[in-house]
Chain A
Amino acid sequence: MTIIWSLLKHNGKPITAYAIGTSLYLLMLAALYPSMMKSGLLEAKLQALPPEVLKAFQYDKMTGFDNVLDLLGGNYYGLIFQIIASLFLLSLAARLLARPIDNGELILYLAAPITRHQYTAAAMIVMLLASTCLVLCNTLVLLLTDWFVSGVSIDGLTLIRFQLNALLLLYAIGGFTLFIATLFDDERRAFSIAGGVLILSIVLTIGAGLSEKTEWMRYGSIFSLFNTQQLLEGTDQFLIHLLTLASISLIFHVGAFLSFRKRSLSI
């Protein structure tokens, strides 16, 4: 418990910054939604954009914007969320494991009667808590706008499905970044390998939207397991996606435990 508190204290600022930053962005979009719809500004702007770009952001012109989640599905959860999630979890895994291994700070904990499993478990819990905190803040802000901003109405069930899927996506990416962080002594190497894979996933997601011929690229990316269009339409494979993300998260977290237990540390 002491390690978890200490790690939370050490990493509290960036976690809070990401949670508040993304929530404020959502609040701004949700609060502006009624006036954007009234002025027709949003529809006009979207008409001007090429369909490939809209597809990359997971907008669907056919469904239109019946409620604020339609807007957020394209403007935030379509692509921006994936980029923010990648940066958030890459930097958190670096701060919790890759950097302390690289600069030797980890000895503060490993000199104490603590096993490596205990430290890995603490790092994992902090990552899961940080992901949960981000999603909870986002959800809370959207619920507040639903309650207090006139002209905004959010379907509760769709919102829960969105946030649950987003949370599991964060858990899976978190497991992956933590696992990579346990593999190397060099923080930059861990960061660039995990970052490279996540950038490739984002590129595949964007590439998949460019034409029907490149649609297959979506399946090479973990972000295909968070399909906002399917979530909005309710025709998704929601449970399958959740189970797949949970399995990915579990596999990488177990991998992180095994890898960190066995390796020699030059700290």
Chain B
Amino acid sequence: MRTAFRTIVLSSIVAMGAAVGGWAMVTLVAGLKHVDWQVSELLRQYLIATGIVKPTHTLVDFYSHIKGIEYLICVAFFVVFPIFYKYVNGEAKKVENTMKQRARSERSVL
């Protein structure tokens, strides 16, 4: 009973996925045909249509927009950089420990 239910659920998900995927594929192909098969042009139109890229009318608007994005990038960097630093220095920590251990063992010999 449980197996049959799982099969029905899985089949439904696959069918829905296939339908959505098929629809997305048709839309994509139709969109590409509309812009003479230029991927970059389609992307450009998508960015404008979704409002990610929009025209600005005053210098204040322009600066508010670009500075907002720049600050977000900087905040992201403040998060990413320490993680990256920690990742790169992961091995050095081990070496440091080994050195400390060596120093400790030398001290014990002395």
A and B interact: no
